[in-house]
Structure 1
Amino acid sequence: MSAWFHRLFRPHPQSLLGQLRSPMYLRWQAGVQVLALATLFQRPLEHGFSWHWMGPTLLSVPLFLLFYIRLYIAPVRQMLAHALALAALGLALWVFNSAGFIYVMIGVMALALGPSWRTWLAMTVGAVLVMSVVGTVLRAQHGVIATVLVASILGGFSNFIYMRGVRRDAELRLSQEEVRRLATLAERERIGRDLHDLLGHTLSLVALKSELARKLALRDPPSAQREMEEVERVARHALGEVRAAVTGMRRSDLAAELLSARLMLEASGIVFACDGCDGLAPLPHAIEAPLALVLREAVTNIHRHARATEARIDISSEQGELRMRISDNGCGGLAAHGNGVSGMRERVRALGGTLAIDSPPRKGTALELRVPLAGAVTSPRAVGSAA
């Protein structure tokens, strides 16, 4: 039974929640609209309790919840059918309950979340016309129909504008993921070409000299020994080239990391500002690589956890000391040893620097690090352990 219930209410991949990766705002909005059900009971109670309206109202609520939830979790192509079902349910309930039009209004506004604004407008006009006919038969007040029309247009337009922004954000995320995928593929191909060019000739030479040494081993041992010494020399040279190439691949560039930070934060809707980023003086690799990793971790925390609208990076160099301050106006409350802070502290400490964190709750976070440019502790082992 539980498995069937889970399948029934699990978002379909082609549903609103499935396509947009279940945005929390959309779930929150859907939940708030359900609170309108209170009107179904409040309005008729003003004229007294009666099972004439209470019975049909109670029976309609489970059907409403089923159609309403399916609006969000069923495939988008079924949205019109569920919206029409809600409107029909509201018209049927309107005969018994003067607040039954609430179902019609919710169904029309929810349809504006779909991909076609023409369908939403057509249903709005159709619902108002049908309600006019039914209202004439029921002798309902014209203000009710006007309320449905105004609420459907205003609420539907708001939903349409919101969904247009959400869909653009989703398309932007997909395009960014495709760019990253292509960049990764190109980097893999480049690494493959570099390794082939680097090792192809060397390994061929090692194989050739090893074969020659094998042939000379019994006939001319001194020559075979010289060949093996040459093999050893070539192998050590190739090992040094491989290590140099891998070090270059692992190298982190602070300027590139600043550019990546700008792209990530601005794509997330966070206003980014940087003072001192332009014309950044070259730094020793032993200092630049750990600082780039610290910057990456800090920016990732802002992107994932801070819920900020603004972020700022200030970089300066005074009295032989590099200072970098990374701040945001987010929720604050950054734990002293959480969210990668320990790793950042270790990297800064390995450079002989200090890291200070100011993160009061609901007042943003500021990380300020200071690293000496001369006499810094740049032990490869210390830096590597921090990584």
Structure 2
Amino acid sequence: MSPAFDPASPWRSGRWVFGAVWLLFVVYPVIGIVTADAGWGVKTVSLALLAVFVVDYVWLCVYAMFDEPGRVAARNVAIATLIVIGIVLMPILHTSAFAVAPYVMAAVAFAAPWRTRYSLAAIVVIIAAAIIVPEIFGWGIDTGFLVVMVVVGVIMGFTRLMRDGERDRDRAAQRQRELNAQLAVVAERERVARDVHDILGHSLTVITVKTELAGRLVDLDPERAKAEIAEVTALARDALAEVRSTVGSLRTPELPSVIAASASALDAAGIDADLPDPAADAGPNATLFAWVLREAVTNVVRHSGATRCDVALTHDRIVIADDGHGSPLLTFGNGLRGLAERVEAGGGRLTVESDATGTTVTATVSAR
């Protein structure tokens, strides 16, 4: 579609009419030129200049006064043209030449690509010129017109300040939205990292333990070694499927399957376990407790050196306790740190107590 027929183009938007409608008052300088004590040649040239002034001002209304982008050089030239025409008309219109000053002030306030302080300074200069120039040439000052100019100038200046303030707030809001979007991406990455860590950490730990056990059983109990290797294969396939699900849709673990997998991992590691029934009802916190159980059991198998692990489960709490040697490092690991963030996001609190007699991981969620 050609820009000339684009409904969103500055001409077709109609916004420029709000600035151009004030050109109705150009009739006063027109009357001043027609009734001036000058020849028709001078009057004709003056009217032509005034027509150029009107066209120039309308162009600024269309392309500059309502935040149309670019055209910096063209704006400066257009504003300079308005000022020059106003000065050229002074010899014939005298004080009445300042009848075009409000249009110049509007152009400076809303169309100039300058800093706000420069635009305000230009408005002050125009008002000062309306006072000083007539005094210099002895034309006399129309007090009523001067008051109107001052009022218009003040209004233009404050409007420019308000518009710039609103624009700055919009830009700040946009920057905040962009920052929030970036933070959301970072948070999502951290969440995916936690999920992948929890899934792979647990699965690879179990695979490692079962592989080591199978290696020891190859000569002692070949049949059981085969069974362990079969379980390793199944675990590897499950882990791959879970990683794919996590990357695709962030699959959440199911508590019964995590309890069963934990029992298998603890048994393979030679750790006696007292676990809840996989069919136990953990209420609305089942998914969260599944994450907690998975990470805690992974740490028990990998780090604790325990011989026993007990898990207690209710609707609002899960406790995993082992009798291992304990380690203060457990409270600072990436897995438990990510798990604590996950529990807090779920409205709960994770505590880890670890000493030489063992480690206890407790996740408590407020009643919902």
TM-score of the aligned structures, taking structure 1 as reference length: 0.44
